[in-house]
Structure 1
Amino acid sequence: MTQEIEICEQRFTLHPSGSLFWGEKSILMISDVHLGKISHFRKFGAAVPQQAINANFNMMDAVSAYFNPERIIFLGDLFHSHLNYEWRHFEDWTSRTTAKITLINGNHDVISDSKYEGLGIEVFDEHIIDDFLLTHHPEMREGFFNFCGHIHPSVKISGIGKQTLRLPCFFKKLDQMILPAFGEFTGTYTLKPKKKDEIFALADGVVIKI
């Protein structure tokens, strides 16, 4: 189940995958996929099943089919590190994807821009569309609403019996929204919301406003 919100008189849909769809522009935003991380773990002996590699690509296929966007913008850390086995999966995925693809460079994006450009992907350090500033690291800039990633935000929820639960979330401030990490095996960082912050947690295929 998704959640609909309005920001700067524009409609956005929050998806349980952690992706965000901008209705008026037909843009799908995805942050922190960290492709190649599973292969990296396997290379150094971690017992991660081979089929786990397909999980990120299957989810990208699913969310693309759900929204049918004209454009997909990755808000940084698309790949975890240097080229490895998963690049071939990514080449295959891009060949099947009809949407225009854009990458906003993140701190893990060390693969040469020319490799992405060879697949028809445009690469930026930041990108401005109307009143919206798209970056990897959170950035506050006067006059713009910032969409970003990097933090892998989660929120801590406490129950009556002192039990606690940490859930990945969309973390919205007055002029900024931090997207949750899209990728498998990425981990999270717990943020403590302030009074005016809005939290949209992801749990069991549902986006829940906390």
Structure 2
Amino acid sequence: MTIPCKGETFLLCKERVIYWEAKKTLIISDLHIGKAAFFRKSGIQVPTKVGRTDLERLSECLTLFDTEVLLVTGDMFHNYMNSDVIAFKHWREQYPGLQIKLVMGNHDGLKPEEYEALGIEVYLKELIYGPFRFVHDQPDTFDQYYNISGHIHPGITLFGKARQQLRLPCFFFGKTCAILPAFSVFTGLSMLKPTEEDEVYAITPSGVIAV
């Protein structure tokens, strides 16, 4: 689904990404590389294929779109270096020409030299890429830039005629801030209660729909 946003055009994809064609930029949030390995180390059995599936989906998006920049609005990684991050390193070697820009999230715990070794540009607080400010969490103050964030893993509940309820990840566009869905499938949902002024796009298995 293609939508206008502050004079620019975004393509919202069911793979939980935004493609900004004018900048050849793929925008995602909350990839949480290493989360599955982190849980396994804590004794919680999580299949190793979880992380691989996310990277495979990301590869499909890079193939689908003419991408020069991958922009991540936080929580690209989940805590520290582990086997899943090593797998990402091998994945990264397939895309030597891809610029990766990361706005740090609360779970991004790698060392500065590790980000550098992975070819990732790190922004500690925000990245201004006019007319947008890319941040991990919604800011408390607002100015001329429209904020694009992640962090909360937004979801929306759709109701059927027979009281059925369906919980889906979504893209949220409010007056001052947009919130991206978590890219990783290994995340929960924070259910939103949008106002009439907000624009919400639910992500279904077949595509993105306005709700």
TM (normalized to structure 1)?
Answer: 0.95
Query: Aligned partner of 2:154: which letter?
Result: P
Paired residue total: 208
Q: Residue by residue, what CA displacement relative to the aligned partner does 1:103-140 show, whole Å, maximum 9, x if unpaired? A: 10000011112211122211002100121100000125
TM (normalized to structure 2)?
Answer: 0.94
Query: Distance in 1 between the 2:14 and 2:112 partners?
Result: 30
Query: Distance in 2 between the 1:62 and 1:100 partners?
Result: 17
- Structure 1: segments with no counterpart, 5+ residues: none
What RMSD in Å do the two structures reach over aligned CA positions? 1.2
- Given that 1:10 and 1:23 are in contact with CA atoms closer than 8 Å, whether structure 2 keeps it comes out as no
Pairs within 5 Å for 1:3-82? 3-82=1-80
1:53 deviates by 2.6
- Given that 1:75 and 1:149 are in contact with CA atoms closer than 8 Å, whether structure 2 keeps it comes out as yes
1:11 deviates by 1.0
Query: Distance in 2 between the 1:133 and 1:90 partners?
Result: 27
1:62 deviates by 0.7
> Which position in structure 1 is the counterpart of 2:138?
138
Query: Aligned partner of 2:65: which letter?
Result: F
Asked if 1:147 corresponds to 2:148, the answer is yes
DSSP-derived class of the 1:96 partner? coil
Query: Aligned partner of 1:82: which letter?
Result: Y
1:75 deviates by 0.7
Query: Aligned partner of 1:102: which letter?
Result: K
Q: Residue by residue, what CA displacement relative to the aligned partner does 1:122-173 show, whole Å, maximum 9, x if unpaired? A: 1002100121100000125211111110010001111111121111000111
> Which position in structure 2 is the counterpart of 1:119?
118
DSSP-derived class of the 1:169 partner? strand
> Which position in structure 1 is the counterpart of 2:99?
100
- Given that 2:50 and 2:186 are in contact with CA atoms closer than 8 Å, whether structure 1 keeps it comes out as no
